[in-house]
Amino acid sequence: MARVTTETIQVTGIRCERCVQRLAAVLSGHEGLEYANANLVGQVTLGWDEELTNRDELLAAMAAGGFYAAPTAE
């Protein structure tokens, strides 16, 4: 059985419903992505199959579409 990892990431570049749709198009067909949900404040919840993809690949796909993970405070 596949191991699905879930994470909510704060993303820059989402300002309207059209941006959410654009993000959906960027992630559409990404192998291993089980689901993605975004809201208008830039929170994107991703679920992915660890055997097929990883966080870095998903972040790279989003960045290619103009959506970047916001820096996290440490």
Residue-number span of the structural domain to which 60 is assigned: 29-74
Tell me, yes or no, whether 74 lies in a domain.
Answer: yes
Look at residue 16 and tell me if it is in a domain: no
Distance CA 5, CA 40 (A): 23
Q: Taking Cα atoms as reference points, which of 39, 38, 33 lies closest to residue 5?
A: 33
With respect to residue 4, please indicate whether it lies within any of the assigned structural domains.
no
Count of structural domains within the chain:
1
Cα–Cα distance measured from residue 54 to residue 60, given in angstroms and rounded to the nearest whole number: 10
Ranges of H-type helices in 1-74: 17-27, 55-64
Residue 73: predicted pLDDT: 60
Q: What is the pTM of this model?
A: 0.89
Domain presence at residue 58: yes
pLDDT in tens, the chain (74 residues): 678 999 999 999 999 999 999 999 999 999 999 999 999 999 999 999 999 999 999 999 999 999 999 886 65
